[in-house]
Structure 1
Amino acid sequence: MDLAFFTNFSASLTAQEAELNTLQEEISSGVAVQTPEQNPSAFETALIGNDQLSALNGDTTSLGDIQGQLGDVSNGYTSVLSEISDVQQLVLGALNGTTSNQNMQSLATQVSAAEQQMLGIANTTGSNGTFLFGGTRGTVQPFQEQPDGSVVYMGDGGQSQAEISSDLSASTIATGEAFISGLQGDGTASVTAASTNTGTGVLLSDGVGNPTAATAFQQGNEPITVSFTTSGTGGVIYTATQTSSAGVTTTLATGPATSGTSLTLGGVDFQLTGTPAAGDSFTISPSRPQSVFTLLSNITTTLQTAGSTPAAAAITRQNLNQDLSALDQYQQTVTTAQAQTGVTLQSLSKTSASNATQETEVQNNVDTTIGTNFPAALTALDQNTTAVEAAMKAFSTVQNLSLFSVI
C-alpha cells in the first residue's frame, strides 16, 4: 500500500484543522491579526493605536480626579458665599435701628455659629482625603483655631500643575487665599469711630471718587483723622488732617459738620450722617487684609457689646457698616476665586470631551485594522468545516473498501 496517501491526507487534514482553529479564535476574540507574522503592517498600526489609547485613558483618569477635586472646591466656595449672604442679612437686621439688646445678642450668637460653619468649610477634605484649601500642604489642617479664639492659616500659597494633554496644564489644588485676603472696610479705607464719641455721627463710604488718590492712600501708611470742634458761631465743624511719616501734619479739608455733609478724603467719597458732637473723631485708615474669621469675630463682638445710648448706637452702626462693606469685599473675592475655578473646570470638560472623541476614532481605526470581518470569517468557517467533514467521510469510505483493505 502506498503510504503517501495517508501522509498527504494527514498533512492536509492538519492544515485544515489549524485553519479552523484560527477562524474560531478570530470569531471568539474579534481579532483577526494577533501576531506580526499574520500581517506586519496591520499589527504595527494596532500597536501604535493601543499606545495612543493607553495615553488617552491615562489622561481621562487624571482629568476625572482633577475635575472631582476642583468640583469640591467650587462647592466649597458656594457654601462660603451662602454663609456670607446669611451674615449680611443679620448685619442689615442689626442696622435697621429698632433691634433690641436681646435681639443683638441673638444675632451675635448666629454670627458666631456662622464663623464655626465657615471654619468647617475652610477645612473641608476632598474625595482623596486631602484638605481642599491647604495649598501644597494638603495633609495638614489648613485653618486651626487657637486658644484665644483666633484662626491661623497653616497651609501655603503653593500651586500644583498637572499636564492634562500636550497643550493643557491645570491646577490640581486650591489655597486658602479666599479666606484670608479680603480687605477691611470698602477695600480702600476703613473708618473707626473713637470710643469716646458722644454724638450720633456716622461716617459712611460712598465709593472711590479719585482712583489714583485712592490707590496711593490704600498702599500708603498714613491715616486721616476727622475731628469735630465748636465753631465761632456755636455750630460744629470738622477738620480732616493727615500726618506724614516724617511727622508733618497737613490739613486736608474743613467745613460745617451737618448730617448729609460730603467729604472726599484719600480719594474716597464719604458722607456724614447723624449729628457729631464737639470732641468726637473718626480715623480713616488704609484697608489691610483680614481673614474672614477675624471679620466674623469682630461682627460678633460688635453685636455683643452694642450699647443702648444714642452715642453707643452710633458707634455700633459705624462698626457694622464697615463690616458690611468688608463682607462685600469677601463676597467679591470668593466669587472671583470660584469663577477662576469654573474656567478651569470648563477647560477640563472640553478636554475630556475631546479625549473621548479621539478614543472612539483610534479604537475604530484599531478595530478596522486588525478586527475580525465576521461575515467573511463565519463563511470561511462554514466552508472549512464542510470541507473537513467531507474529507473525513471520503477517507472513511476509502478505508472500508475491501479492495483497499487487501491492498
Structure 2
Amino acid sequence: MRISTVTMYEQGVSAMNRQQQNFMDVGQQIASGKRVVNPSDDPRAAARAVSVSQSLAVNAQQESSRVTARNSLSQEESVLNSVSDAIGSAKSLVVQAGNGTLSDADRESLASDLEGAFETLVGLANTTDGNGTYLFSGYQDNAKAFSRTDAGDAVDTISYEGDQGVKQQKIDAERLMKTSDTGTDVFMRFSAGSEYIAEADEGNTGNVTFSGPDVRDADAAGYGETFDISFNGDGTYDISSSGAGFADQTNVAYTDGETIEFGGMALTLEGEPAAGDSFTVTPGGDMSQEQASLFKTIGDTINALRQPVETDADQAALDNTLSTASRKLDASLDNVLTTRASVGARMNELDALDDVGGNREIAYEQTRSDLVDLDYNTAISDYMLSQVGLQASQKSFADIQQMSLFQFLN
C-alpha cells in the first residue's frame, strides 16, 4: 500500500493536535481545580452539579431569610422587655396609690408619674425598625400602630390603627415563621386562662368595695362564665350569668364584709350599697379588646387618681378602680411575658435551623465537590503522561518527515 507524503503529514499533524488538546485539557483542569470544566467533559456529573448548586442557592436564601427573621424578632424582644419594665413600674405606682393616707396632692403626683409610664408605653407600641416600618401595625407598615384622640382634661384615648395581619418569613423548605405580633395581641389582650377580674359599674353611688375574686373550685357549675352582681336597694342582691351552667341567685341577703361564693369563686364585699349598684366578674381571657387595653387601664387609673376624694363613695370608686387596674396590669404583664416567651422560642428555632442549614450546606458542597472537583494526584499524573505523549508525537513526526527517497539520491 502506497502512503503519500501528504497523508503522512496529515496524520502526523492530527496526532500532535490530539496530544496537544489532551495536554491543554488537563492543564485547564489543574488551573481551575475542576474536573468538569465544560459540560461536555462529563454531561451526567455536570447536570447533577447544576441541581446541587440550585439546592445550595435555595439553602443560602433560606439562611438569609433567617437572618431577616432574627433581626425582626430581636427588635420585638427588646421592645417587649421594655414594655414589661414599664408595666412593672405602673403596677408599683398603682399599689402605692392604694395607701389610704394619701392626700389629693399625693395622688396627683402619682398620676403624673403614671402618665410618664403611659407615654412610655405609647412610644414603645409605635416603635419602628431601621427601615421606618412599625413593628406592631400588622401589614400596615407605614401606619402608626396606635393613634391618640384628645379627651380634654382626661388622658388621651389610644386606638389601634393597624390590621390583624401577621408577617411571616419562609425560613426553611417547609417552615413559615411569624416574625411579628400585632398591637392588639400585645397591648389589648389577656392570655387565655387569665384570672377573673372584677369591675365596679361607673354609675355606682354606694361605697361598696370588693377584694378578689379568688378561685375556690374550678370544677364548679358556671366556672368560666361572666357574672353580674346587682344590688336591689332593699338589702339584697342578685347574681346572674349569661352562661347555661349557672343557676341565677336572686334576693340574697347582703351582709357588710361577707365573702360571697358563686361559680367556684369567692368575692369579698365591704360597705353600704345603693340601689342599682353593680359589679361584673369576667374571665380575663374573655374580655374585649377595649376592656383589656393596657392604655385604657392606665388611663382610667390616672383619671381616677386626679379626682378629688371627698366622700366615702369617692373613696370606694377609687379603691375599686385601683383593685381592677392591679388585676388588669398583672394580666397584661402575663400576656406580654407569654408573647415574649413565644418570640424567644422562635429565635431558638432559628438557631436550630441554622445548625441544620449549616450541615445541609456542608453535605451539598461535598456532593458537588465529588462531582466536579479535581483529584490533583490523578490530574498531575495525566498531565505528565499527556506531556510525554505530545513530545513523542512531535518526535515521531520529526523522524517520519525525514524518511524520503530523495535523501538517498546523490
What's the TM-score bracket when you normalise by the shorter of the two chains? Answer: 0.7 to 0.9
1:33 aligns with 36
Alpha-carbon separation, structure 1, partners of 2:116 and 2:261: 38
Which amino acid is the alignment partner of residue 217 of structure 1?
T
Residue 366 in structure 1 maps to residue 371 in structure 2? no
Which amino acid is the alignment partner of residue 264 of structure 1?
E
Structure 1 residues 323, 180: CA separation in 2 closer, same or farther (over 3 Å shift)? same
Unaligned runs of 5+ in 1: 230-237
Check conservation: 1:158, 1:175, Cα contact below 8 A.
yes
Which amino acid is the alignment partner of residue 136 of structure 1?
Y
Unaligned runs of 5+ in 2: 243-247
Residue 216 of structure 1 is aligned with which of 219, 225, 228?
A: 225
**How far 1:136 moved relative to its partner?**
2.2
Residue 179 of structure 1 is aligned with which of 187, 211, 229?
A: 187
Greater displacement, 324-333 / 352-361: 352-361
Alpha-carbon separation, structure 1, partners of 2:273 and 2:21: 111
What TM-score comes out, normalization by structure 2 length?
0.78
Matched position secondary structure for 2:134: coil
Please give the residue correspondences for 1:1-400 in structure 2 after superposition, counting only pairs within 5 Å: 10-148=13-151, 149-176=156-183, 177-182=185-190, 187-192=196-201, 196-197=205-206, 202-209=209-216, 211=218, 212-217=221-226, 223-226=228-231, 239-241=236-238, 251-258=250-257, 261-265=258-262, 268-273=265-270, 276-277=271-272, 279=274, 282-287=277-282, 288-289=287-288, 290=291, 291-307=293-309, 312-381=314-383, 384=386
1:235 aligns with none
Deviations 1:162-192 (A, max 9, x none): 4444432223442122212249x95443234
Alpha-carbon separation, structure 2, partners of 1:2 and 1:60: 67
Which amino acid is the alignment partner of residue 116 of structure 1?
E
Alpha-carbon separation, structure 1, partners of 2:105 and 2:390: 100
Alpha-carbon separation, structure 1, partners of 2:102 and 2:301: 15
Check conservation: 1:160, 1:172, Cα contact below 8 A.
yes
Deviations 1:169-218 (A, max 9, x none): 223442122212249x9544323476644x5x531113234554243325
**How far 1:26 moved relative to its partner?**
2.3
Check conservation: 1:101, 1:308, Cα contact below 8 A.
no
**How far 1:107 moved relative to its partner?**
1.9
Structure 1 residues 79, 386: CA separation in 2 closer, same or farther (over 3 Å shift)? farther
Alpha-carbon separation, structure 2, partners of 1:106 and 1:286: 31
Aligned-pair identity (%): 20
Alpha-carbon separation, structure 1, partners of 2:116 and 2:82: 14
**How far 1:17 moved relative to its partner?**
4.2
Alpha-carbon separation, structure 1, partners of 2:390 and 2:352: 55
Check conservation: 1:182, 1:292, Cα contact below 8 A.
no
Structure 1 residues 144, 281: CA separation in 2 closer, same or farther (over 3 Å shift)? same
RMSD between superposed Cα atoms in Å = 3.8
Check conservation: 2:225, 2:241, Cα contact below 8 A.
no
What TM-score comes out, normalization by structure 1 length?
0.78
Alpha-carbon separation, structure 1, partners of 2:27 and 2:104: 88
Alpha-carbon separation, structure 2, partners of 1:342 and 1:253: 50
Which amino acid is the alignment partner of residue 224 of structure 1?
I
Alpha-carbon separation, structure 1, partners of 2:337 and 2:251: 36
**How far 1:65 moved relative to its partner?**
1.9
Matched position secondary structure for 1:126: coil
Deviations 1:227-264 (A, max 9, x none): 777xxxxxxxx53235899xxx9635324314xx2122
Matched position secondary structure for 1:213: coil
Alpha-carbon separation, structure 2, partners of 1:384 and 1:127: 60
Check conservation: 2:237, 2:250, Cα contact below 8 A.
yes
Deviations 1:375-399 (A, max 9, x none): 332444455557767988x69998x
Which amino acid is the alignment partner of residue 300 of structure 2?
N
Which amino acid is the alignment partner of residue 178 of structure 1?
V
Check conservation: 1:70, 1:345, Cα contact below 8 A.
yes
**How far 1:84 moved relative to its partner?**
0.8
